[in-house]
Amino acid sequence: MDSVISILTIAFSAFLIQNIVLTQFLGLCSFFGVGNKEDSALGMGLAVTFVITLSAVATYALYIFVLVPFKLEFLSTISFILVISGLVQFVEMVIKKYSPGLYQSLGVYLPLITTNCAVLGVALLNIDKSNSELSLGMNFLIMIVFSFFTSSGYAFVIYVFALIREQIAKAPIHAGLKGVPIALITAFVMAMAFNGFVGMF
């Protein structure tokens, strides 16, 4: 029962309290770049969720089964970058072959994910989170839950941000605030709101 509660706490914390964009400030480039249209934001959010979860599993397995036994932890960053880049190419190829319709909607955003620092950030956070007192299976489960909910938090925030920006675009605001300035103010207000969750657990 305790482990179920702790996993639910990790999921909730990753999704809202420790939100990757608004609390940890990772993935801001795509957040501001793509978060201006609802469709683009949804596509990017779904693609990032899929790639982060998949790459977290691959990078964690590489770390536990290759880098730690050979004492090569110093290669974590460079090897994770290569794994993520290769996986993005692989995912793009599979989607292109088996689901061209999905590729049509996600295809543009898949190559952009390679440059998203949130993907590498989650892979590195997973290593910090691994607890030697827990079993490998439990660590693996925690890692998957954390990665999935962190990336879902990214998708949620970028989608909400795009919805707000679409409404703001229709509003009569000062010319000097249009575009990036109002986007930064919106992100600031959203970050303040998300900081309200800090201290819940």
Rounded CA separation 88/90 (Å)? 5
Q: Give me the DSSP letters along 123-149.
A: HHHHHHH--TTS-HHHHHHHHHHHHHH
Q: Which is nearer to other proteins, 107 or 121 (CB)?
A: 107
Q: Which is nearer to other proteins, 50 or 149 (CB)?
A: 50
Q: Which is nearer to other proteins, 103 or 140 (CB)?
A: 103
Binding to other proteins (CB under 8 A): which residues in 20-39?
A: 33-34, 36-37
Q: Give me the DSSP letters along 23-34.
A: TT--SHHHHHHH
Integer CA distances (angstroms), 113 to 48, 119, 148, in order: 6, 8, 16
Q: Which is nearer to other proteins, 87 or 143 (CB)?
A: 87
Binding mask 40-59 for other proteins (x = CB under 8 A): x-------------------
Q: Which is nearer to other proteins, 26 or 67 (CB)?
A: 67
Written as one letter, the residue type at 70 is F
Cβ neighbours of 133 (radius 10 Å):
6
Q: Which is nearer to other proteins, 93 or 193 (CB)?
A: 93
Rounded CA separation 86/103 (Å)? 17
- Distance in Å, CB of 110 to other proteins, minimum: 10
Binding to other proteins (CB under 8 A): which residues in 58-117?
A: 66-67, 70-72, 75, 78-79, 82-83, 85-87, 89-90, 92-93, 96-97, 100-101, 103-105, 107-109, 111-112
CB of 139 within 8 A of CB of 145? no
Which residues 6+ apart lie within 8 Å of 138 measured at CB? 3
- Distance in Å, CB of 17 to other proteins, minimum: 29
Q: Does 179 bind other proteins (CB under 8 A)?
A: no
What's 80's DSSP letter?
H
Give which of 43, 66, 46 is closest to 54, Cα–Cα: 46
Positions touching other proteins (CB under 8 A) are: 33-34, 36-37, 40, 66-67, 70-72, 75, 78-79, 82-83, 85-87, 89-90, 92-93, 96-97, 100-101, 103-105, 107-109, 111-112
